[in-house]
Chain A
Amino acid sequence: MKPTPDVSYCLTPQAEGWAVWRDAQRLHIASTLAEALGLLPVASRFEFAVPCHPLIMERLRLPATERDELAGMVQLQWEKALPYSPEEITGDFAVLETANGETVVWSAAAAHDAWREFGDTWSGANRWPRRVAPYVCYVAAACPAEETILVVYVEQGHWVVAVVEDRRPGWVHVMSAADAAGFAAEFPSLTLTMGLDGVPNSYARVLLSPEVIGCEAALQSAVQAPVEMLPLVTPVTEVDVNLLPSLWQVSSQQHRDGRAWRKRVLLAAAVYLFFVAAAAVDLFVLQHKASGLEAELNAQRPALGLLQSRRARFNSLGAAIDSHRYAIELLYLLNRCLPGESVRFTEFEQMPQQWRVVGEAPTASLAIEYLSRLKRDPDLSGNDITADPPRLLANERAQFQVIGKP
C-alpha cells in the first residue's frame, strides 16, 4: 500500500490497545504499539498521540509575558520538578488564559527515559512519528468550545481525569484507580488538589467515555453538572502541543538520510552494473563477430587450399612454361638496358636462385649507368639487383658484375 501525500495517519491510545487512524477514519485496533505501527502503510508519515501516564503535566500561573519568556519559565519549572538535566527533558505548553498580569499555562513534559518504551518500538521498525501530542489534547479538542468541562476517560488501562477549558486541557491527572469503586474513593481528594492548583470547579458538563460509565453516580454526587457521553475522539484537529523528542527527530532524520544514501548507492550500483553488463555485451558481440569471421574463413579454406595448390604447381613449372622466366627473356632485358654498343657482356649465368652477368664498359661511369638502368627497368623490378663497384682492367676498360635474385 503506497501512502497518499495528503492523507494523515495517526496512532492513538485506546482504553485497551492502540488505534490506527487515517484522517478521521479509524482503520484498525491493535493490541500493541508495534502491531499498530505495522498496520500503517509503508513509508507513510504519521503522528503519535502519547498517553498521559508517562507525562508530567502541570497547570502553571506565570507572569504575563512573551511566549519565549514563558517557555524559559516553564523550562525552569520542569528542571525543578524533574530530576533530569534540561537536555534530557522534552516538553511543551499551551497558554490557557492571560488576565490581570498573569498567564495560565498547561504544560506537559517527559524525561527521555520515559520515552524509551515508545522509542524502542520506533527503532525496531525504523520509523518515527513526525509529531507527538498528548492524547488528552485530542480529547479536549473533541469537547464543545468555550466551556469548562470535566472529562473522565481511559487510555491504556489508566483512568484519566481532565479539566478542559475551551477545548484545551487545563488540568490533567492520571488516577491510580482503575475501576468505579476506586474512582469514587479517589475523586474527593482529587477535587481538593484541583482547588489547590487553581482549577475552575464549576463545569458546564461532565463527559465520560463508555469505559468509565460506572462512575457516573460518584460524579453526580460531587459535581453539579449534567453527565454526558464523550463524543468520538478523532485525531484530526491540529493541537498546540508538540512533544516530539529531539532524539526521535535525529533518529528519523538519520533514517531518512540513510534511506536517501541507500537509494543513491543503489542507483550508482545499478549504473555500475549497467556499464558492466554493457561491457559484457560488447565483448560478447565482438566475440560473436570474430567467430563469424572465423567460420567464414574456415568455409573458404578448402577452396583456397585447392587454388593455392594449383598456383604452387603452376609456379613450380614456371621456368618451363612462363616465358618471362626464360633465359632468352632475361638476356633480352639485360641487353635492353645496355647504354651503348661499347658496353657488352662477357659472361652470363642463370641458376634457379640467382643470375649473374659480367661485362665490360669503356668507362666506369657507363658501367654504373648500366647498373642504374637495370634497377630502374620495370620488367626487372621483381629482382633484387646488386653490383660491386666496377673494376678497371689493364686495357683501361671497366669490368662490372651484376647479380640478381628473383
Chain B
Amino acid sequence: MRRTLSSREKTLAMIVGLIVFIGGTYVLGETYVSKRATVNARIVAQKKQLRSMHELLDQGALWAQREQWLQAKQPHLENADTAGVQLLDSVRELARRHTVLLANPTIHPPDPRPNCVSVVLEIETKSPWAPLVELLQELQTPEQFVALESAHISVDPADPTQVFGRFKIARWYAPN
C-alpha cells in the first residue's frame, strides 16, 4: 500500500538521492576521465610505435639489399676440416708479404652460431707498427667475412719499435 511521505521523510529522501546522484556522477566522471586518459595514452604510444615502425619500414629496401648481398657474398663452409688451415694459410701469406712474424697458431674447430659458422684461428705476431697495420688493413675487407674476435697489441718494452700482437681471427661462413 502506498503511503504519502512526510516532509521529514521527503527531505531525508532528497538528501539520500542527492548523495547517491553526486556519488554516482563522481564515480562516472572519474571512470570516464581515467579511461579516457588510458585510451589517449595508448593512442599516443601506438602512434609513436607506428611512426617508428614506418621509419624502419622505409629502410626495408636497404635491409633487403643487404640481405641479398649477404646471401650472395657470405662464403659457405664446404669442408670443415680444411677451413681453419685455409684461414691460417691466407694469414701466413699476408704476414709474409708484410714481413710480420707469426707464432703459436692455433686452429679451433668450426663453431656453429645462429647467423654463421665461425672458424677461429689464434695467432701471435711480432713486427713494427707499420707492417702490422698494413696486415690488419688487408686482413679485413667486407667480402672476406673475417672478424677479429679479440685483438691485443702491446709495445715491446725492450724495443719500442717492435709490437707484439695476439689475435683471435675468425672467418664467418654462412649457416648451413
Give me the interface of A with B, judged by CB distance under 8 Å. Answer: 272, 276, 279, 282-283, 286-287, 289-290, 293-294, 296-297, 300, 303-304, 307-308, 310-314, 316-317, 319-323, 326-328, 331, 344-352
Contact = CB atoms under 8 A, between A and B. Distances in A.
B46 interface: yes
Nearest to A282: B36
Contact of A350 (B60, B74, B151): B151
B57 interface: yes
B72 to A, nearest CB: 12
A296 B148 contact: no
A313 B115 contact: yes
B39 A320 contact: no
Contacts of B144: 320
B64 A310 contact: yes
Contacts of A311: 63
B12 interface: no
Given A283-B35, A313-B67, A320 B140 contact: yes
B148 A350 contact: yes
B40 interface: yes
Nearest to B63: A310
Q: How large is the interface on B (under 10, 10 to 19, 20 to 34, 35 or more residues)?
A: 35 or more
A352 B137 CA distance: 19
A296 B151 contact: no
9 contacts: A290-B42, A300-B54, A300-B57, A303-B60, A314-B67, A320-B140, A323-B141, A348-B151, A348-B153
Interface string B137-152: 1001110111111111
B32 A279 contact: yes
Nearest to B25: A272
B80 to A, nearest CB: 18
B140 A326 contact: yes
A317 B115 contact: yes
Given A307-B59, A331-B136, A345-B153, 17 more contacts: A276-B28, A286-B39, A290-B42, A296-B50, A300-B54, A300-B57, A308-B56, A314-B63, A317-B70, A319-B147, A326-B136, A328-B136, A346-B154, A346-B155, A347-B155, A348-B153, A349-B151
Given A297-B50, A304-B53, A350 B67 contact: no
B150 A331 contact: no
Contact of B145 (A283, A304, A321, A327): A321
B140 A293 contact: no
Nearest to B168: A351
B133 interface: yes
Contacts of A331: 133, 136
A44 to B, nearest CB: 27
B46 A290 contact: yes
Nearest to B113: A316
- Which of B32, B42, B148 neighbours the largest number of chain A CB atoms within 10 Å of its CB? B148
Nearest to B137: A328
- Which of B36, B60, B133, B155 neighbours the largest number of chain A CB atoms within 10 Å of its CB? B155
A289 B50 CA distance: 13
Contacts of A313: 67, 70, 115
Interface in B123-176: 133, 136-137, 140-142, 144-155, 170-172
- Which of A300, A304, A328, A350 neighbours the largest number of chain B CB atoms within 10 Å of its CB? A328
Given A286-B40, A307-B60, A347 B154 contact: yes
A305 B41 CA distance: 25
Contacts of B66: 310, 314
Interface in B54-91: 54, 56-57, 59-60, 63-64, 66-67, 70, 74
